[in-house]
């Protein structure tokens, strides 16, 4: 599966994250309210965000999320292979500037990612912290169902992510 294609909707462009995106992305990430329900509540601090950004770059699956109307970076997200299964991909490490919350942007972003992923795998996984009710609601809104395993394979939860959700290809209708 190609982990960093360029994907577009009518309102967003998702393109591979680049080193020179750091300052623009950190400007967004420096808002403490973005991280208030996240286990790394201090990620708004530069010295904490820097290794997060480096990990994103090293992953070779990270995206800059661009508002198509303004051309500005509004957040980031990633694909990550699920080590237990070659038939699943994880979507995560997602954050958006607060003025893009609660509307069509997260759904548009996840739709782009899932439409792409389901060309290669049957399961899209989301790992969410038990205290992150915003992300739990967002994942449920796109059809995520809480799971512990896929295809009889027990999944290892990520550190800090106690709930796993899955959207299955067979239940996903290709959306535009």
The two three-digit tokens of residue 143, written as one number: 């059809």
pLDDT tens digit sequence for 29-40: 999 999 998 889
Residue 174 has pLDDT above 80, yes or no: no
pLDDT tens-digit profile of 96-137? 999 999 889 999 999 999 999 999 999 999 999 888 898 999
Looking at domain 7-171, its CATH class is: alpha beta
Average pLDDT over residues 84-107: 93
CB atoms within 10 A of CB 10: 9
Domain ranges of the chain: 7-171
> pTM here?
0.93
**Residue 73 in tokens:** 């970076």
Q: Is 30 helix (H, G, I), strand (E, B) or coil?
A: coil
Q: Is the dihedral of CA 97, 71, 14, 7 positive or negative?
A: positive
Q: Is the pLDDT of residue 13 over 60?
A: yes
């Amino acid at each position: 599966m190609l982990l960093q294609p360029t994907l577009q909707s009518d309102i967003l462009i998702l393109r591979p994250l680049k080193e020179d995106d750091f300052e623009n992305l950190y400007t967004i990430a420096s808002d403490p309210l973005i991280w208030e329900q996240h286990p790394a509540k201090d990620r708004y601090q530069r010295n904490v965000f820097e290794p997060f950004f480096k990990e994103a770059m090293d992953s070779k699956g990270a995206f800059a999320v661009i508002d198509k109307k303004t051309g500005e970076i509004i957040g980031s997200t990633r694909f990550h292979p699920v080590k237990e299964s070659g038939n699943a991909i994880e979507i995560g490490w997602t954050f958006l500037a607060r003025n893009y919350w609660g509307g069509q942007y997260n759904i548009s972003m996840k739709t782009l990612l899932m439409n792409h992923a389901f060309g290669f795998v049957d399961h899209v996984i989301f790992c969410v912290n038990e205290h992150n009710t915003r992300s739990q609601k967002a994942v449920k809104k796109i059809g995520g169902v809480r799971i512990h395993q896929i295809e009889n394979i027990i999944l290892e939860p990520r550190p800090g992510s106690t709930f796993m959700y899955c959207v299955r290809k067979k239940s996903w209708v290709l959306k535009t």
